[in-house]
Structure 1
Amino acid sequence: MKIATDELKAVTVILRTSQAIQEVIRKDVSNYGLNPTEFSVIELLYHKGDQPTQMIGKKVLLTSGSITYVVDKLVNKNYVIRKACPKDRRVTYAALTDSGMDLMNRIFPEHKLIMEKVFDQLEADEINETIEMLKRIGHRAKSL
């Protein structure tokens, strides 16, 4: 029987941790009739303002086909509108509607508290160290 290396154990821990955090997010945002992908798009627009739809996909890790579908769903829920770029007609922006802004003003403080609970067993320096280590691992993985 072959024993797993520390690196393989680390991969397993990272993936399981990611799944557990994603499940916390899924449960939280489902209370508001959203899935995690919809929430990530609304959250991006809430914090960064209007965004070109093709850039949203890159920022929330979605393909261009998926982002169109998600934005369509958010438009149908009246949380997002599409706006033409005044400088380049080929570019379309997604923007929060007043309803989308009201929703985020109402739910984001609670979501933030839930995310803080995920990390409440760590000190601030441990959180920052974790961020830096995961970034290094991610950059290395991308380079392979």
Structure 2
Amino acid sequence: MTSPDEAIERFELAFFSLFRKLGPELGLPPDLSITGPQLMMLYSIIKMQPCPTTKLAQQLEVTPSAITVMIDRLVNHGYVVRKADEHDRRVVLLEVTEQGHQVLQTIKELRTQAVKTYLSYLEPEEFDLFLNIFEKIAHNINNTKVDN
């Protein structure tokens, strides 16, 4: 049985090897004018579309003033439009534009190809197990507070 220290060392070696190779391929192409946080915002807006700005700020755990600046950048690039809520004009809704959808599609295609290439050697049941464990780790990381 592997000791905890040996397990951590094995994990680090595998993680850094994977990240070194796969990380750049999962990154954002330099010819697209979008950052990682902006990409996360686009995904969030699509999930909640039409998306109230206040709900997006809560989802991303940022202040309303910070979200305004972030949204301005997406609007300036043509990825998002602001619309007034028909029922409450004080509420600003966000929708992803066709250009925003195209950027997401381009990134998704690039990432899908990279993941398929590097994980294609796994059997379907191994891939399911890998995803279940990976999702469990991600879920626990998102719900765990670390004291520094």
Pairwise TM-score range, normalised by the shorter structure: 0.5 to 0.7
Tell me by how many angstroms 1:85 deviates: 3.2
Give 1:82's aligned residue.
Answer: 82
Q: Secondary structure at the match of 1:30?
A: coil
Give 1:109's aligned residue.
Answer: 109
Q: Distance in 2 between matches of 1:48 and 1:117?
A: 31
Tell me by how many angstroms 1:105 deviates: 4.7
**Over aligned residue pairs, what C-alpha RMSD do you find?**
3.7
Tell me by how many angstroms 1:76 deviates: 0.9
Give 1:23's aligned residue.
Answer: 24
Given that 1:29 and 1:39 are in contact with CA atoms closer than 8 Å, whether structure 2 keeps it comes out as no
TM-score (structure 1 length as normaliser): 0.63
Tell me by how many angstroms 1:80 deviates: 0.7
Give 2:120's aligned residue.
Answer: 120
Give 1:40's aligned residue.
Answer: 40
Point out the structure with max Rg over C-alpha.
Answer: 2
In the superposition, relative to structure 1, how do residues 4 and 33 fare at CA in structure 2: closer, same or farther (>3 Å)? same
Tell me by how many angstroms 1:64 deviates: 1.5
Tell me by how many angstroms 1:57 deviates: 5.4
Unaligned runs of 5+ in 2: none
Tell me by how many angstroms 1:94 deviates: 2.1
Tell me by how many angstroms 1:133 deviates: 1.4
Give the total of aligned pairs: 139
In the superposition, relative to structure 1, how do residues 70 and 30 fare at CA in structure 2: closer, same or farther (>3 Å)? farther
Tell me by how many angstroms 1:78 deviates: 1.1
Given that 2:33 and 2:77 are in contact with CA atoms closer than 8 Å, whether structure 1 keeps it comes out as no
Does 1:64 find its partner at 2:65?
Answer: no
In the superposition, relative to structure 1, how do residues 137 and 87 fare at CA in structure 2: closer, same or farther (>3 Å)? same
TM-score (structure 2 length as normaliser): 0.62
Q: Secondary structure at the match of 1:82?
A: strand
Q: Secondary structure at the match of 1:5?
A: helix
Q: Distance in 2 between matches of 1:116 and 1:54?
A: 37
Given that 2:79 and 2:100 are in contact with CA atoms closer than 8 Å, whether structure 1 keeps it comes out as yes
In the superposition, relative to structure 1, how do residues 52 and 8 fare at CA in structure 2: closer, same or farther (>3 Å)? farther
